[in-house]
A and B are shown apart, each in its own frame.
Chain A
Amino acid sequence: MNTQSHETEGRADAKPAGTVFVVDDDEQVRRSIEQLGRSVGLNVAAFASADEFLKSVSDDVAGCLVTDVRMPGMNGLDLQRRLAESGFCLPVVVVTGYAEVPMAVQALKAGAFDFIQKPFRPLALVEVIQRAIEADAKHRKQRQQVREIRTRLASLSLRESEVLKLLASGKTTKRISAQLNISLTTVDFHRNNILGKMRVDNLVELTRAVALSELADDEPI
């Protein structure tokens, strides 16, 4: 067995920040996932039940959740639903057992990031976890962008907002001046102010920013 390959496989990429939350009622499984995560340099927080997990994380956190589907009390699918209701955007990786594919399908339909079936290859789990964390990081970055764009949009004056709407819908300066009954110079003045406030260099970037701002919070970009 080539330990080197494990080493490099596990620690190959620079890891995005985030915590792997593990929820499993099986003590040995819980510990092993925790150990595996730590061995590849991930932050891991493990919980024996969905309730324990929900109690300890109040705000939306970064990383991903690995949860067993079959647990006494609240099961994995219920947990997934609760998270969605509370506005958590944590990607959920569902761990299923023997003959539980229907539950996996249910989880995916409810928006799970992925599922993995027991007994899984440990490295397959690492791979899924890393993909989930990357997706989460990307998602968070984009949502941050959207939030910034919205803040900038909010800083525009009424007239600037009007001009922006027309610009974003592809109207020329001439048309805008005609439609709003203002001079071309005034339109240009507003346009430059808008580009400055929105921190974009050109109309293409501006249009894209507006489109992003119109997305719902949990929509992938």
Chain B
Amino acid sequence: MTTASALLIEDNPADRAKIAYELRMDEYSSFDLTVAESLQAGLEQLMSQPFDVVLLDLSLPDARGLDAVLELTRTWPDLAVVVLTGLEDKQTALVALKQGAQDYLSKDWLDRNLLIRALQYAIERKRNAVDLRRSEQRYRALVAAMTSIVWSTDADGAIQDEQPAWAEYTGQTSRQYHRRGWLDALHAEDRPSVESFWDLRVWHASSQRHRRCIARVVPLIADGVEVSEWVGTLTDVEDAKQAEEALRRAERLASLGTLAAGIAHEINNPIVAAWTSAEAALNVLDQPEAREMLSECLQNVIQSVLRCRDTVEGVLRFARHGEVDLRYCDLARVIRQAINELEHYAEAHGQTLTWNNVVELPRIYGNEAQMQQVLVTLMRNAIEAGRAGDRVELAAILQEELVQITVTDYGHGMTATEQQRAFDPFFTSRKERGTGLGLSIAHGIMEGHGGAIELTSEEGGGTKVTVRFPVTNMTNPLDEGKTKESPE
């Protein structure tokens, strides 16, 4: 049995009594009836409390029939209205319907069933109409949200592709909003709540566990002003997430394999050399004239073992970006040493290294060994990318507070994919050699120096890598002595 609140606006006491009696006597419904003797009194009632339905007499002394209907439906759009006519005037009743009333009843034909049904249907019809109107508003709100700024992210909330509308609104460049960078455009206080959208776990009844979901809400703005409700969507991404995680695991294992192969390559040579020289030393141990030979063998053993150590250190350095000992150092000397180290390598590849030094290089605050490592990595990559007869150019310029060093080759260049992955650990475009750690370590080192590394390449046209160090003009007497020696 349903309970509904009804307001009867009727000036005729006999009609009021009859309607109240009929409503009270019905056993299948329960109307909470309030009675008003005039339109004014009815309006006051409506303002003080909500009603499901109004039963409105069209021949009230203080209203001109149909105007009252209009006033009610405009002021209370969610209210169901049933009009009472004493005239059996179908014309007037139809106009009332057009003005928003749900039904009409003739007082001359008022029987209980008809009355009850009219009221119930009116309420029901009105409710449907309201729902329809709301859903239309919702749709409009969604459309409005969609047409203002359309942007999209992947399941993790990372932007992968171009988002022109977002860029235009926020002024972020594609590089800035890339991945989760778009969150930077949000107010700091709003960031956590937005970020947490991507980590929603919702209880799922049929699988009896929490599953990862993505929730999205759009506010529904009622009458263009207030947020009246939220329209939410919930998308289950558990399966997608699991598939993605499985893929990541597989990739990690593959990376581990690549790393292992790289280390094996790098370490097997010095192992062979140390072992072989040691055996050679044992072979001549008893020979009286063997001193020189023994010394040579042992030197080779030591050098080989040091190489193993360096490789292991490199891997460890990559694995944990260890603290670096920074001090003032001579950039010119770093470059000279790096070039010395690779001159023979370039020669063996039939290439020439050119060093175009147009500026007096400043001292920088950094770690010499590491910076040399960066330059050697870049130059070695450049040499390996080129063909015999090519040249590798090294140049330095000063740009305000930055010193910029470029290493340019005219070799095979890199595809777009290779460029994207160039700084990824274990990624290598060389099929024959290398751990794929060189550029990732260089990247880490540059970051540790407060600098930057950048790569531009054209497939078939060569590659240019630029590193930038901040210049320091400060002198620290305590450091003066130290710049001459380097620990490695």
Q: Which residues of A contact B (CB under 8 A)?
A: 1, 3, 6-7, 10-11, 25-26, 28-29, 31-33, 35-36, 38-40, 48-49, 70, 72-73, 97-99, 118-123, 125
Smallest CB–CB gap between B331 and chain A, Å?
A: 28
Q: A35-B297, A38-B293, A49-B348 are in contact. Are A28 and B269 (CB under 8 A)?
A: yes
* A/B pair count, beta carbons within 8 Å: 107
Q: Judge whether B357 is part of the interface by a CB distance below 8 angstroms.
A: no
Smallest CB–CB gap between B390 and chain A, Å?
A: 13
Q: Contact: B293 with A39, CB < 8 Å?
A: yes
Chain B residue contacts of A32, Cβ below 8 A: 272-277, 280, 297, 300, 304
- From B265, B276, B284, B293, name the one whose CB has the most chain A CB atoms within 10 angstroms: B276
Output the nearest chain A residue to B349 by Cβ-Cβ distance: A72
A-B contacts, 8 of them at CB < 8 A, read A7-B282, A25-B348, A28-B270, A29-B269, A32-B304, A33-B276, A98-B264, A125-B276
Q: Judge whether B432 is part of the interface by a CB distance below 8 angstroms.
A: yes
Q: Complex formed: what's the CA distance from A99 to B282 in Å?
A: 30
Q: Complex formed: what's the CA distance from A10 to B281 in Å?
A: 12
- From B261, B270, B273, B281, name the one whose CB has the most chain A CB atoms within 10 angstroms: B273
CB-contact partner of A97 in B268, B279, B280, B282, under 8 A: B268
Q: Which residues of B contact A (CB under 8 A)?
A: 261, 264-265, 268-286, 293, 296-297, 300, 303-304, 307, 348-350, 384, 388, 432-433
Output the nearest chain B residue to A49 by Cβ-Cβ distance: B348
Smallest CB–CB gap between A36 and chain B, Å?
A: 4
Q: Contact: A31 with B300, CB < 8 Å?
A: yes
Output the nearest chain B residue to A29 by Cβ-Cβ distance: B273
Smallest CB–CB gap between B216 and chain A, Å?
A: 49
Q: Contact: A28 with B283, CB < 8 Å?
A: no
Q: Contact: B286 with A122, CB < 8 Å?
A: no
Output the nearest chain A residue to B299 by Cβ-Cβ distance: A31
Chain A residue contacts of B297, Cβ below 8 A: 32, 35, 39
Smallest CB–CB gap between A65 and chain B, Å?
A: 17
Output the nearest chain A residue to B284 by Cβ-Cβ distance: A39
Q: Contact: A7 with B277, CB < 8 Å?
A: no
Q: A6-B283, A72-B348 are in contact. Are A35 and B296 (CB under 8 A)?
A: yes
Output the nearest chain B residue to A31 by Cβ-Cβ distance: B300
Chain B residue contacts of A38, Cβ below 8 A: 280, 293
Chain B residue contacts of A40, Cβ below 8 A: 283
Q: Contact: A73 with B349, CB < 8 Å?
A: yes
- From B272, B277, B296, name the one whose CB has the most chain A CB atoms within 10 angstroms: B272
Q: A40-B283, A123-B279 are in contact. List 18 more A-B contacts (CB 8 A).
A: A7-B282, A10-B283, A28-B274, A29-B270, A31-B300, A35-B276, A35-B296, A35-B300, A36-B280, A38-B293, A39-B281, A39-B297, A97-B264, A97-B265, A98-B265, A118-B268, A118-B269, A120-B272
Q: Contact: B285 with A3, CB < 8 Å?
A: yes
Q: Contact: B293 with A28, CB < 8 Å?
A: no
Q: Complex formed: what's the CA distance from A149 to B349 in Å?
A: 47
Chain A residue contacts of B285, Cβ below 8 A: 3, 7
CB-contact partner of A3 in B271, B277, B286, under 8 A: B286
- From B268, B280, B307, B433, name the one whose CB has the most chain A CB atoms within 10 angstroms: B280
Smallest CB–CB gap between B144 and chain A, Å?
A: 60
Q: Contact: B283 with A36, CB < 8 Å?
A: yes
Chain A residue contacts of B276, Cβ below 8 A: 29, 32-33, 35-36, 122, 125
Chain A residue contacts of B350, Cβ below 8 A: 73
Q: Contact: B273 with A36, CB < 8 Å?
A: no
- The 7 A-B pairs at the shortest CB distance, nearest first, are namely A39-B283, A28-B273, A32-B276, A122-B279, A35-B280, A39-B280, A32-B273
Q: Contact: A31 with B284, CB < 8 Å?
A: no
- From A3, A36, A99, A120, name the one whose CB has the most chain B CB atoms within 10 angstroms: A36
Chain B residue contacts of A119, Cβ below 8 A: 268, 271-272, 275
Q: Complex formed: what's the CA distance from A72 to B79 in Å?
A: 88
Q: Complex formed: what's the CA distance from A118 to B264 in Å?
A: 10
Q: Complex formed: what's the CA distance from A202 to B350 in Å?
A: 60
Q: Complex formed: what's the CA distance from A26 to B278 in Å?
A: 17
Chain B residue contacts of A70, Cβ below 8 A: 432-433
